[in-house]
Amino acid sequence: MKLHTTGILVIVWLGIFTLHTTEGSVASQSMRKLSCVNLSAQKVDIRSIVSYEKQKVPVEAIMFITSNGIKICVHPDQKWVQNAMKRIDKRRTSKRR
């Protein structure tokens, strides 16, 4: 009888442990990096931008990252945004060589 009870307790414990670790890994996978929701209408000084990321969801946007680590979301169709992206891409390719 003791062996039967011990077996059930071990199975319950394993079930709880598995559920707990699965929830932890799922929660950590669903954590997303910062995403753009609101877009800035102001032009950013291109010289202060060091990088950018493209985003499609929840809104189509470009997230510029400044040398101070500030993240600014802008609409990708603006001419100055496209020029800034080209300039950053040029800097990236010249550093790789």
**Can you list the pairs that 85-91 forms with residues at least 24 positions away whose Cβ atoms lie under 8 Å?**
85/52, 87/46, 88/49, 88/50, 88/51, 88/52
Q: What is the mean pLDDT of the chain?
A: 79
Query: Higher pLDDT residue, 65 or 24?
Result: 65
pLDDT per residue over 77-94, tens digit each? 999 999 999 999 998 888
Residue 27 confidence (pLDDT): 45
pLDDT per residue over 56-72, tens digit each? 988 999 999 999 999 99
